Structures are given as structure tokens and as C-alpha cells.
Amino acid sequence: MTSRENTHSKMIGYILWIFGFMGAHRFYYGKPISGTIYFFTLGLLFVGWIVDLFLIPGMDKHAEMRFATGPLNYNVAWTLLTFLGILGVHRFYMGKWLSGILYFFTGGLGLIGIIYDYWTLNDQLTLINNRATKA
């Protein structure tokens, strides 16, 4: 077993898959380019969305090998981003208080910050988790 396991959840992946025609599950599994394509094409006109129903276990396995475990839980951070991101709650969870306050008062920097976090949240969490395990 490696130290890079249990970062993502198939259950969360399938819940986000329900909204997958908007790319949510692809962002969650660290695939921002295809997530953006899904967002603008409605999951490749729903065909890619249906295919992803069968690809989620593989995406989950790849994400668990790619991202580092640590004190911050990816599932909590993604849930906070998805449902309370405009208020910056996920940033508070990551200990980024200044940007959390900024998100809170600017609606996630006019949603641009939310889009940025959809693209980079997994990497942000991995950096924080790696720093915590080295300290």
C-alpha cells in the first residue's frame, strides 16, 4: 500500500456524476480540461456523460495514486467548494483565511475564483497535505 490512497470517493464521484454533464465529476478527479469541455458541451452532448458512468472507478483509482493524503480531506473540501464556494468556506477549511474572507465579500471574486478553484483544488490540497506530512 502506498501513502497515496483514500483521497477521493467513488460515492462522491457518482453524486457529482449526476451533475456530470456540467463536468463536476471530472474536476473532482483532477481532469480540469475535460471538465471544462463537458461544461461547455453538456457532457459531450450527454454521450460522454453516460460513458463516464463506467469510467469513474478508473478515474477514482488514478486520483488516489496522484494526490496526497494528509490532514485535509478532499471530499470535505470538494463538498464545501461545490455548495458553499461562493462564500469561501472551502478556503477557510484549507487555512487560507485572507482569500476566504475575500471570497466571502466578493462572491468568490465574481465566480472567477470558484472556476480557478475547480481547476486547482486537488493540487492545492496536495501541496498543503505534503507540507503537513513533512513538518
Model confidence pLDDT, tens digit, residues 3-60: 456 899 999 999 999 876 788 899 999 999 999 999 899 889 989 999 999 999 999 9
The reported pLDDT for the residue numbered 31 is: 95
pLDDT exceeds 60 at position 130: yes
pLDDT > 90 in the chain, percent: 79
Considering only CA atoms, which of 90, 65, 59, 61 is closest in space to residue 77? 90
**To 5 degrees, how large is the angle CA 53–CA 55–CA 57?**
100
